[in-house]
Amino acid sequence: MKKYIFSLITVLSLIAFFVGFHPTSIGMGFQPELPDELK
């Protein structure tokens, strides 16, 4: 069960990362704002 949760968190993190740095039509509804250290 822990592996499943860890994998889910990892996938969500990767999705958030790609959406944040490569905005697509999916990210038009919400515009993620990255902290200054990530820009």
Q: Residue 12 pLDDT more than 80?
A: yes
φ/ψ of 37, rounded to 5, equals: -70, -15
Please list, in sequence order, all residues whose beta carbon lies within 8 angstroms of the beta carbon of residue 23, skipping any fewer than 6 positions away. Answer: 31, 32
Record the pTM: 0.44
Q: pLDDT per residue over 19-34, tens digit each?
A: 666 555 455 555 555 5
Distance, C-alpha 15 to centroid of its chain: 4
Q: Residue 4 pLDDT more than 60?
A: yes
Residue 3: band (very low, low, confident or very high) from pLDDT cuts 50, 70, 90? very high
